[in-house]
Amino acid sequence: MTKSRSRTTATLLFDPKKKKNHFWFYVISFAIFNIPSTSSTSPTLINFGDSNSDTGGVLAGTGLPIGLPHGITFFHRGTGRLGDGRLIIDFFCEELKLSYLSPYLEALAPNFTSGVNFAVSGATTVPQFVPFALDVQVRQFIHFKNRSLELQSFGKIEKMVDEEGFRKGIYMIDIGQNDILVALYQSNLTYKSVAQKIPSFLAEIKLAIQDVRDDGGARNVLT
């Protein structure tokens, strides 16, 4: 993968031309560092977040049925995505020549060759320790990595992310909208009290980036 191509994906995620993205561009996107430079093979993609990038996590994790019309335009069935077609992360996968990401919580025939998706619809950054808040997703990742490497040391290597995959992977975090929503409800739509809470959301995201970098060995984190 080339440097310019990585930049393209970063731009895709937060296209400033799209009005809808403006807010998130400024509020949430504060860390894009160490974009991978050169690699002959596709990188793995490791994703954390909410419904924006949930490829079936909420369905696998809670059993909440998400059938048609969700998925109607592309998959022609409900896939657990809260949308009719593909999500931005699906287009990322296509662009990077990866198969669509399996949710971490998918018990039935997951395929983690391309990476793994910890995103669950409705997820928030605060409070911690509740399913499936960002800190829980990061803990799941640390377990996932540990267990994947352990299994591979026993010789099981099918459909799994390997050491290099974790090291050179692209880590993405797309979260925060539900925190704002909850804060809006709690404050009867008052701007000031919502704005006051935003730093605590950002602090959680910052912590997640640190943990993923320190414990996970990640070098490339996009938020």
Ligand X SMILES: *[C@@H]1O[C@H](CO)[C@@H](O)[C@H](O)[C@H]1NC(C)=O
Residues facing residue 76 across a β-bridge? none
The answer to whether the beta carbons of residues 58 and 80 sit under 8 Å apart is yes
Residue 50 or 90 with smaller CB distance to ligand X:
90
Q: How far is the CB of 190 from ligand X (least distance, A)?
A: 7
Residue 158: alpha-carbon gap to chain centroid: 23
Output the smallest distance, CB 153 to ligand X, in A.
8
The residue (of 17 and 109) whose beta carbon lies closer to ligand X is 109
Q: Which two tokens stand for residue 197?
A: 């809470």
Minimal distance, residue 193 CB to ligand X, in Å = 8
Closest approach, Cβ 150 to ligand X, in A, equals 6
Helix axes 177-186, 191-214, angle to 10 degrees: 150
Q: How far is the CB of 30 from ligand X (least distance, A)?
A: 29
Comparison of 62 and 113: residue with beta carbon closer to ligand X: 113
| Nearer residue to ligand X within complex by CB, 32 or 182 | 182
Residues in the chain: 223
Record the tokens describing residue 205, joined without a space: 């995201």
| Closer of 62 and 152 to ligand X (Cβ) | 152
Amino acid at 179: D
Q: How far is the CB of 97 from ligand X (least distance, A)?
A: 9
Residue (of 92, 90, 110) closest to 158 by Cα position? 110
Q: Least Å distance between CB 201 and ligand X?
A: 19
Q: How far apart are CA 140 and CA 146, in angstroms?
A: 10
* Residue in this structure with the two tokens 């267990």, named with its chain if needed: 147
Q: Which is nearer to ligand X, 150 or 214 (CB)?
A: 150
At CA 84, angle to CA 44 and CA 56, rounded to 5?
45
Instruction: Write out the two tokens for 152.
Output: 């591979």
Q: Are strands 220-222 and 170-174 parallel, antiparallel or unpaired?
A: parallel
Residue placing its CB nearer to ligand X in the complex, 19 or 108: 108
Alpha-carbon distance of 139 to 96, in angstroms, equals 26
Where do contacts with ligand X occur on this chain (CB under 6 A)?
98-99, 111, 113-114, 146, 149-150, 159, 187-188
